[in-house]
A and B are shown apart, each in its own frame.
Chain A
Amino acid sequence: AQSVTQLGSHVSVSEGALVLLRCNYSSSVPPYLFWYVQYPNQGLQLLLKYTSAATLVKGINGFEAEFKKSETSFHLTKPSAHMRDAAEYFCAVCSSGTYKYIFGTGTRLKVLA
Chain B
Amino acid sequence: NAGVMQNPRHLVRRRGQEARLRCSPMKGHSHVYWYRQLPEEGLKFMVYLQKENIIDESGMPKERFSAEFPKEGPSILRIQQVVRGDSAAYFCASSPFGGFDNQPQHFGDGTRLSIL
> Which residues of chain B have a CB within 8 Å of any CB of chain A?
1, 4, 6, 9, 31, 33, 35, 40-45, 48, 56, 91, 95, 98-100, 102, 104-110, 112
Closest beta carbon of chain A to B30's beta carbon, Å: 13
Task: Check A44–B42 contact: CB distance below 8 A.
Answer: no
**Whole-angstrom distance between the alpha carbons of A106 and B102 in the complex?**
23
Sample of 6 more A-B contacts, CB < 8 Å, known A44-B107, A92-B43:
A32-B100, A34-B104, A43-B107, A43-B110, A45-B107, A99-B48
A-B contact pairs, 6 of them (CB 8 A): A36-B107, A44-B43, A98-B99, A101-B35, A102-B45, A105-B40
Closest beta carbon of chain B to A26's beta carbon, Å: 15
**Whole-angstrom distance between the alpha carbons of A92 and B56 in the complex?**
19
Q: How many residues on A have C-beta within 8 angstroms of the other chain's C-beta atoms?
A: 28
Task: Check A46–B106 contact: CB distance below 8 A.
Answer: yes
Closest beta carbon of chain B to A25's beta carbon, Å: 13
Known: A41-B112, A43-B91. A101 touches B105 (CB 8 A): yes
Residues of A within 8 A of B91 (CB): 43-44
Residues of B within 8 A of A49 (CB): 104
Known: A41-B112, A43-B108. A100 touches B48 (CB 8 A): yes
A window 27-75: CB within 8 A of B: 32, 34, 36, 41-46, 49, 51
